[in-house]
Structure 1
């Protein structure tokens, strides 16, 4: 089996695993590869689920990057550039390796990320839209490093952006700005706001499930 750079959990589909579609799951800051499995378990059973662990330890969990707070604190934070680039490359390498190792359909790969995982997912999509069939980003934003990039091939790409009206970690306005920018680039954006804080509630999860089911039809 091809070595996959990032530690991960793999959940095989209920049906034939050969060339089945897949979703790569990217957790938030301070969590781990098991944190979003309850969300992934709500998705259609014919998906490979590969939940990746971020590379750096943070307290009891892991982080994709350290925060650059020079812009004015947590609400204006940005990814630390070097850390962020390293994680983006590790994820890209892990997607390629897992596609080979688990026999995934390379044309039907989605990303699902929360918080730092959403920020990372949006950035991966902008950099290389041809590698991803759809993206779900919950309670995240598009960082400055990627907000002004052109993105050839993103036209019509389905993207779900979720935000919490009571989110005190990543304000709703930052998620809305990401949705607006992705739409400007040509992505087919579904934007939802929910009466939650920095977490995924039942209504948001139900909308995510509907979105992913529609992508697999």
Structure 2
């Protein structure tokens, strides 16, 4: 059974069973679990070592590596810092390194990761050493009450609406609705929730972020 982890203070309250009726890519999450374990072992770290560096419980890491728990974006950032690699190296299979700085990716051919509130497609993950990362995200949830705890992660973020309408909720600001062609820059450490403003269709955004 695949569980999803939500961002909250108490890790014991973070795991919930995925109950929404939308498709999941079990193979993608299994591949993610294997990459995390392989990268950790390649650096000679135990689960205790990596969990300490990443800043969360060893039991959480154990569940992630067994494929029993799907890490949120916040946990992926922490794992990348603990492993001292870029986030894209976690979410994409290893490929041959590119020579030069040109990369074409057609039709979002990379691995897609499904979460209760969104689907995440990493872009150009083969390009290493970047100061920013990019992804296309489908925001599926439209009900703030069903979203769960607001997200927080140590990054500077930008969203550009590609299709649908985005409802952006955050701490200290009134809710904002963005249409196609609108963009938003914000501090990822501020509590925030990205939702579709429509009950019938998702909102797709280009997401660009830089870890702090």
Fold match (TM-score > 0.5) = no
Structure with more helix by fraction? 1
**Normalization by structure 2: what TM-score?**
0.31
Q: Which has the larger radius of gyration?
A: 2
More strand by share: 2
